[in-house]
């Protein structure tokens, strides 16, 4: 099975404890990019990760439960922010307090570039793998991709796009850190499942795929 890589069939007995999920050789932090994005996903900074999860949860609640309109929400949030700053400024002048300081750059643009670069890189790698499997280079992955996409399409009929988006974000915020915590147990379980699937596929290939008649392969002349 692709994604779970083992050096040989002898790994079924001797290499199970040394195999890693998706055949990776690098730590999970480096697989996720090794920068600020990886720190957030793995909860290296609990305040930032928790705040981001809280903000996304509030946004999901407002749009999905309260059924806020996007334009209305942006306008109300802007009005509230401006009123808070205005009142804070007036109170500071009256009681000789420190006035509010508005930073020139609220969000660091390098963070957005890093997130966009990681998403672009991961998507290109996934798309390349998907297209390669469609040409017959990796039949097990092709079957798995078809089955997975069908499952996602069925799930999509019962969930809105916002719910799927929030579910994906929630998975990114929880699955990597859970995997890092229970890495050895997950790798061992995934290894057992992978070996069973590979064994079943070899049996299916020997009983059915190898019996399909094929025409003679003609040698192509290289000019």
Do the domain assignments include residue 185?
yes
pLDDT digits (tens, 9 = 90+) for 128-165: 888 887 777 777 778 888 888 888 888 878 878 888 88
Do the domain assignments include residue 196?
yes
Do the domain assignments include residue 115?
no
Do the domain assignments include residue 119?
no
* 40 contacts 54 by C-beta, under 8 angstroms: no
* pLDDT given at position 156: 78
Interatomic CA distance for residues 42 and 28, integer angstroms: 9
Do the domain assignments include residue 68?
yes
Residues spanned by the domain of 191: 9-73+135-206
Do the domain assignments include residue 200?
yes
Interatomic CA distance for residues 171 and 40, integer angstroms: 13
Q: How many domains does the chain have?
A: 1
pLDDT digits (tens, 9 = 90+) for 96-119: 888 777 665 555 667 677 777 877
Do the domain assignments include residue 197?
yes
């Amino acid at each position: 099975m692709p994604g779970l890589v083992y050096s040989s069939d002898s790994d079924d007995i001797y290499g199970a404890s040394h195999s890693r999920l998706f055949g990776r050789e690098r730590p999970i932090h480096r697989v996720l990019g090794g920068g600020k994005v990886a720190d957030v996903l793995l909860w290296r900074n609990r305040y930032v990760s928790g705040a981001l999860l809280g903000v996304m949860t509030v946004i999901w609640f407002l749009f999905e439960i309260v059924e806020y309109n996007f334009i209305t929400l942006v306008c109300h949030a802007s009005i509230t922010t401006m009123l808070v700053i205005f009142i804070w400024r007036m109170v500071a002048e009256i009681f000789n307090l420190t006035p509010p300081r508005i930073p020139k750059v609220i969000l660091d643009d390098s963070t957005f570039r890093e997130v966009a670069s990681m998403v672009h890189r991961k998507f290109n790698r996934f798309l390349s793998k998907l297209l390669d499997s469609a040409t017959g280079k990796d039949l097990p992955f092709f079957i798995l991709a078809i089955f997975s996409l069908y499952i996602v399409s069925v799930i999509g009929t019962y969930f809105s796009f916002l719910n799927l988006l929030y579910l994906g974000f929630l998975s990114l915020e929880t699955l990597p850190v859970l995997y890092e915590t229970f890495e050895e147990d997950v790798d061992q379980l995934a290894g057992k499942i992978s070996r069973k699937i590979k064994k079943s596929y070899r049996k299916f290939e020997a009983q059915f795929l190898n019996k399909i008649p094929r025409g003679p392969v003609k040698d192509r002349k290289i000019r």
